[in-house]
Amino acid sequence: MAVFVKDLIDNVRVSSAYSTEILLEKEITTSDITRPGLEMTGYFDYYAPERIQLMGMKEWSYLMAMTSHNRYQVLRRMFQPETPVVIVARGLEIPEEMFQAAEEKGIAIFQSQSATSRLAGELSSYLDSRLAKRTSVHGVLMDIYGMGVLIQGDSGIGKSETGLELVKRGHRIVADDRVDVYAKDDVTLWGEPAEILRHLLEIRGVGIIDIMSLYGASAVKESSEVQLAIYLENYDTGKVFDRLGNSGDSIEIAGITIPQIRIPVKTGRNISVVIEAAAMNYRSKQMGFDATKEFEKRLGSLIESNKE
C-alpha cells in the first residue's frame, strides 16, 4: 500500500513548514526512520537517505552549534533526492540554512510539537501498518467481545450467515469473504477488509447487504487484531473432533501463528453461539483459567479417591 508524504499530515501529529504539491506527492518506501547524529559530524558511510530524517533536541543542538556555512554544507549533503521528508520535533526552530537546503534539493520539511521518541513511535507504527505486505485469506473476520476471530471453512458452509447472526447478537464485523491480513509486528497479526468490500456482506439468496446501513456504525469495525481462527466443516461421523479443548491446533498466516479451533456444522447446531463460547473460553484461557485442566484435575482427584 503506497504511502505519500502528505499522508503523514492526516495520520501523525505533524504540520508542514516547507512543502510544495510535488514534494507532498513523494512516496515513502520504508518504515525505517533515521535520527541523523553521526551524519552531522560528516560520517556518511552508512547513511540511508531514503528514510524519513527525524531531528530532536540532540540533533538540533549539535546543528545549531555549527557555523552557518558548515550547517548549510552538512544539510545539503544530508538532503538527497530520494529523501522523502525531514521532520523537526519538539517545536524547535528551523534554521534558515535548512530551508535553503530543502528548497535546493527538493525536500519537504515538517514540524511537530511532540517529543522526539513519542513521534518516532507514532511514525513507525503508522508506516509499519501501511507498508506491511498484505496477504488475502478467505473468511469472515469478526470482533467478538473485543477479540478478533477469523471464521473460515469450505465454500457454502455458512460463514457469512454466521457473521450476520453474530452482528445481530451485538458483535462487530470487520471483513467478509476477503480479509487482508498483515504482520503488524513479530507477534501480532492484523486484519482489515478489501476497500471494495468494506461494510458489505454477501448472503446467498439475498445478495449483498450493507451492514452499516442496516445495523448502524456500532455493527462494523475498520480493522482488528486476529487472535483466534475458527474453521467450520461439515459434520462427519468418521471425523475426530476435539471434545476436551486440548488439541492445540494452530495455523500460520503472514508468518504469525494463531490458535485454530475446528467446529463441526450440522442441522440443529447454533454455530454463532458456539463461536461466542469458543471466543470466551479462549479469552478465559489467556487469563489463566483452563476448564480442561480443571476437569483433568477433578478427574485425577476422583481416581485417587476411588483407589482409596
Tell me whether residue 177 is one of the annotated catalytic residues: yes
Known catalytic membership, residue 243: yes
Q: Would the annotation count 157 as a binding residue?
A: yes
Q: What is Dmax (Cα atoms) for the chain?
A: 92
Does the annotation place 223 within a ligand binding site? no
Instruction: List CB contacts of 151: < 8 A, sequence separation 6 or more.
Output: 139, 140, 141, 142, 159, 162, 163, 230, 232, 275
User: Is 275 among the annotated ligand-binding positions?
Assistant: no
**Length of the chain in terms of residues written:** 308
Q: Which residues contact 240 (CB under 8 A, 6 or more apart)?
A: none
- Tell me if 142 sits within 8 A of 151, measured CB to CB: yes
Consult the annotation and say whether 207 binds a ligand.
no
159 given a catalytic annotation: yes
238 is in an annotated binding site: no
Q: Which three cell numbers stand for residue 111?
A: 514540524
Q: Which is catalytic among the residues 177, 184, 199, 221?
A: 177
Active-site residue, selected from the candidate residues 26, 51, 71, 159: 159
32, 58, 118, 138: which one is catalytic? Answer: 138
Q: Map grid coordinates 496477504 to a residue.
A: 135
Find out whether 244 and 106 touch, Cβ atoms under 8 Å: no
d(CA 162, CA 43): 60
N- to C-terminal Cα separation, the chain: 67
Please tell me whether 32 is known to bind a ligand: no
Q: Is 156 annotated as a binding residue?
A: yes
Question: Which residues are tagged catalytic?
Answer: 138, 159, 177, 243
Binding residue positions for ATP = 153-160
Binding residue positions for Mg(2+) = 160, 202
Binding residue positions = 153-160, 202
